[in-house]
Structure 1
Amino acid sequence: MTPPPDNGQSKRDRREEAREKARIAREAAARKHRRNRFLIQGGIGVGILAVAAVVVLVIVSSIAPAAPGPKNMASGGILLQGNATTSKITAVKTAAVKAGGTPKATDQKKLTKTVNITTYIDYQCPYCNQFETTNEAQIKTWLEKGAVTLEVHPIAILDRSSNGKKYSTRSANAAMCVANYQPTAFLAVNASFYKNQPAEGTDGLTDQKLISLVKAAGATNSKIPSCITDKKFESFVSSETSRALSSKLPNSTIGKLSSTPTVIVNGKQFTGAPTDATAFQSFVASQASS
Structure 2
Amino acid sequence: MSKKNSPAPTENPDYEPRATSSRSTYLLIGIGVVVAALIVGGVVWNANKSFPPVDDEVLAENASFIVGERTAPTTVDVFEDFSCPSCKQFESKSGPALAWAAKTGKLRVRYHLLTFMDDKSPSGSYSSRAAGAVLCVARTGDAAVFHGLHAELFAQAPGPDSDADPTDTEMAEIAGRSGAKDETRECIAAGAGVDRATAMADQSRTQLANSNKGRVATPTVLVGGRQIEGIVDDDAWVHKLITGGASN
Length-normalised TM-score, structure 1? 0.57
Counterpart for residue 79 of structure 1 = 66
Instruction: Report how far residue 158 of structure 1 moved.
Output: 1.4
Distance 1:126 1:157 in 2: 13
Matches within 5 A, 1:91-110: none
Distance 2:228 2:104 in 1: 22
Q: Deviations over 1:7-26 (max 9, x none)?
A: xxxxxxxxxxxxxxxxxxxx
Question: Partner letter of residue 61 of structure 2?
Answer: A
1:158 aligns with 2:129: no
Question: Partner letter of residue 217 of structure 2?
Answer: S
Counterpart for residue 138 of structure 1 = 97
What is the percentage of aligned positions where both structures have the same residue?
A: 22
Counterpart for residue 276 of structure 1 = 234
Runs of 4+ in 1 over 6 A off after TM superposition: none
Distance 1:248 1:167 in 2: 22
Unaligned runs of 5+ in 2: 1-59
1:195 aligns with 2:155: yes
Matches within 5 A, 1:169-184: 169-184=128-143
Equivalent residues of 1:272, 1:280 under 8 A apart: no
Instruction: Report how far residue 279 of structure 1 moved.
Output: 4.3
Length-normalised TM-score, structure 2? 0.65
Distance 1:170 1:130 in 2: 20
Instruction: Report how far residue 169 of structure 1 moved.
Output: 0.9
1:264 aligns with 2:222: yes
C-alpha distance 288-274 of structure 1, shift in aligned 2 (>3 A): closer
Q: Deviations over 1:142-176 (max 9, x none)?
A: 22221111111112111112234411111111111
Distance 2:84 2:187 in 1: 23
Counterpart for residue 165 of structure 2 = 204
Question: Partner letter of residue 178 of structure 1?
Answer: V
Taking only aligned residues, the RMSD between alpha carbons, in angstroms, comes to 2.8
Larger Rg: 1
Instruction: Report how far residue 269 of structure 1 moved.
Output: 0.8
Matches within 5 A, 1:221-236: 221-236=181-196
Distance 1:273 1:249 in 2: 16
Equivalent residues of 1:165, 1:204 under 8 A apart: no
C-alpha distance 77-215 of structure 1, shift in aligned 2 (>3 A): same
Distance 1:112 1:253 in 2: 24
Aligned residues: 187
Question: Partner letter of residue 196 of structure 1?
Answer: Q
Counterpart for residue 147 of structure 1 = 106
Q: Deviations over 1:128-148 (max 9, x none)?
A: 111111012222222222111
C-alpha distance 128-270 of structure 1, shift in aligned 2 (>3 A): same
C-alpha distance 256-280 of structure 1, shift in aligned 2 (>3 A): farther
My pick for the range that moved more, 118-127 or 176-185, is 176-185
